[in-house]
Structure 1
């Protein structure tokens, strides 16, 4: 696809798609969610909230970007989570519940939704996009489909989208924690009616595919109280080194810029700022001020070496050490999905006791086909029930194309139907 046509397609798809603790869940009534919108995005000076605890919340009148969905109730919520080093942080997300009563068996199911790439600045937060405060990349149709099926949705913004922060793009543990803690917080927001015992599905595509699969890997150890019954992950950047090599110098090179900036935010002890030349410092400033479409249009064809004083290539960057002896290569490799996975009782690092769905486009220009196949094989070899689906589409078109299939797959998990997988 020519670059101009690809950019227009991206814009069409993506564009079409704390300081006041008084208003907290502790009040125990729907009226308690009355924080000012600005207070939702103001991080506490010293976060102390437990994972999944509500810090403050706000009832939202409407979500104009959830086009085609049923009448709904929605809340923005700031909640507690932990970063990759186990330190408390605050995160913002959105809880959305259909107004129509749930008539299915048991409690209304909940889907923990992880948005795809939005950009790394706080202006790009998914909650702001759903509320129509900023319109660039959003997955409102995905949310609408879940609501039309009767499910509640807990959509995390992800860490690093509050005032003055930078989103840790490509950092797997942070994404997994934020997703699972958003699911925990949903039942604690007053007025949602979400049960803490609800069956939970996890779903995400692209960056959200990585986040949802990290949430699946971390669920048993980090949030064992959640009743997770399945996780769907599409267009997954499972091996960041392979993805980086595929993006460097190519049309979607802006995603590589976001990844290095995001990982530098979670690893401030690693060399980064001092490596940059004037073009690099300008690139960082631009990346933090743009959202998804703007990032793509700002960096097409960019190569990482043009932004460093010494013209460092990816491999040369990977070899650089931080103060603790770890290299950039070590940090990037630590975010590889599918390593150390297994079934409950296997004694491996990431035990998964529910089925997973993985899917991608056959013409995906962002996610290498071999890498996607490797992740699937790793899950199959570990004995995890794995469903694999391929679509006739590229990275941008598969997300909307797969919505119906994913919602049905999650519905089967909620209804207790067996999942045989197709390894």
Structure 2
């Protein structure tokens, strides 16, 4: 067999075997025991965004759901959809709750095996609570959304599990660009899809993972953590576009640029996830006001409000990025070490390689050749790291800038997933 060819999962496993495996996995705490506490989809909308006082359920357990109409998914696609709240795990190992959306076409699945699920993470939406992807899809707020991506997946017959990501529940702050948080929320969203009453999805069905920009980093982190965090999922492939693989390279390009607002989101997201690191004590009055504003804004408000801003202007000591990286938190780590923990392509390898992050499925990466937001150097180096590690990788480029490259790639991504779900042999183009 070609070393880049992926073996298609065995179809038609016996019910007895699946039951035994599921029972063992649930007992081990690696998958949610859905039958133990079935959830009725009758939650009020406010309940989806109200964080529980505590979360003890296994990661991926459905905590609450409500039927919803996805007003911002174009094409009048017959479907059933739900807003959901589900259990996940943060970077510190704490059980948390996350919100998201599950959608399933009403047309019968006619492809190979059972209906696949595409787990989707949107690009940057902003830190304001109103920016949550589930709220934008439902039409409660519209700033920037990726309804076309969701529509394309549904038109292909795939179910969709779209996570909001960590930190969009009431009183929280989204932990933007924190790799483990993003990966866990994305993988647990896929697990949750199998538990929604009326969704009709089969446990063990194949899962594709997809995201662009912020979502591109999230989906690649999901690829890297899948084998250790969600071994119960049968992942057919991961598609990741516009990936900010190295945050230091990305931050250097964003600082003082027209898109400095993305850096503001990142600084606040990281400081939220890593409270032992110095942050509030570094800010001057302008910085404190900026933090308040960033936490209220969605995408365009953030871009317009912080265009050409330099991070040094928000600190009492006019600190540069390099000076901030050298600062230590109460746990002894430096900011530079925390930022480096988010770097993609480090410690990866093929499934039998013994690597820290074994990846046993194909990966598609893509970017716009005119990308003015994410430096080409980091997108190219992330792809090269995957190729050098022997992970079967396809690399696509599009004559488009950052925002338009996402739309330019949609049809190719859907076609690529179709081949993965059909079990076709894969050879990358490294």
Match of 2:391 among 384, 388, 400: 384
Match of 1:55 in 2: 63
Q: 2 CA distance for matches of 1:27 and 1:242?
A: 46
Q: 1 CA distance for matches of 2:152 and 2:330?
A: 47
1:292 matched to 2:274? The reply is no
User: What is the correspondence of 1:406-421 to structure 2 with a 5 Å cutoff?
Assistant: 406-421=413-428
Q: 1 CA distance for matches of 2:35 and 2:272?
A: 30
User: What is the correspondence of 1:209-288 to structure 2 with a 5 Å cutoff?
Assistant: 209-288=216-295
CA-CA distance at 1:121 after TM superposition: 2.2
Q: 2 CA distance for matches of 1:336 and 1:135?
A: 31
8 Å CA contact retained: 2:112, 2:421? no
8 Å CA contact retained: 1:121, 1:165? no
Match of 1:355 among 345, 362, 385: 362
8 Å CA contact retained: 1:25, 1:57? no
Q: 2 CA distance for matches of 1:355 and 1:172?
A: 20
Q: 2 CA distance for matches of 1:274 and 1:221?
A: 36
8 Å CA contact retained: 1:25, 1:189? no
User: What is the correspondence of 1:132-281 to structure 2 with a 5 Å cutoff?
Assistant: 132-281=139-288
| Cα distance, 1:27–1:100 mapped onto 2, change above 3 Å | farther
Count residues in correspondence: 397
Q: 2 CA distance for matches of 1:69 and 1:85?
A: 41
Q: 2 CA distance for matches of 1:116 and 1:245?
A: 20
| Cα distance, 1:305–1:97 mapped onto 2, change above 3 Å | same
CA-CA distance at 1:85 after TM superposition: 1.5
1:107-137 deviation digits (Å, cap 9, x = unpaired): 1010000110001122110000000001011
User: What is the correspondence of 1:29-40 to structure 2 with a 5 Å cutoff?
Assistant: 32-40=40-48
CA-CA distance at 1:97 after TM superposition: 0.3
Partner SS for 2:197: coil
CA-CA distance at 1:187 after TM superposition: 0.3
CA-CA distance at 1:101 after TM superposition: 1.1
Q: Give ranges in structure 1 of 5+ residues lacking alignment.
A: 1-23
8 Å CA contact retained: 1:69, 1:145? no
1:107 matched to 2:114? The reply is yes
TM-score, length-normalised on structure 2? Answer: 0.91
Q: 2 CA distance for matches of 1:279 and 1:223?
A: 42
Q: 1 CA distance for matches of 2:47 and 2:362?
A: 38
Match of 2:96 in 1: 89
| Cα distance, 1:135–1:237 mapped onto 2, change above 3 Å | same
Partner SS for 2:165: coil
8 Å CA contact retained: 1:91, 1:160? yes
Q: 1 CA distance for matches of 2:193 and 2:35?
A: 11
1:180-227 deviation digits (Å, cap 9, x = unpaired): 000001001111111111110000000000000000111111000100
Match of 2:53 among 45, 48, 51: 45
1:235-289 deviation digits (Å, cap 9, x = unpaired): 0000000000000000000000000000000011111001101110010000000
TM-score, length-normalised on structure 1? Answer: 0.92
8 Å CA contact retained: 1:25, 1:56? no
| Cα distance, 1:40–1:360 mapped onto 2, change above 3 Å | same
Q: 2 CA distance for matches of 1:155 and 1:195?
A: 18
CA-CA distance at 1:26 after TM superposition: 6.1
8 Å CA contact retained: 1:25, 1:55? no
Partner SS for 1:91: strand
| Cα distance, 1:129–1:263 mapped onto 2, change above 3 Å | same
Q: Give ranges in structure 2 of 5+ residues lacking alignment.
A: 1-33
8 Å CA contact retained: 1:25, 1:33? no
Partner SS for 2:119: strand
Q: 2 CA distance for matches of 1:142 and 1:25?
A: 32
Q: 2 CA distance for matches of 1:148 and 1:79?
A: 26
- Cα RMSD over matched residues? 1.1
Q: 2 CA distance for matches of 1:213 and 1:122?
A: 25
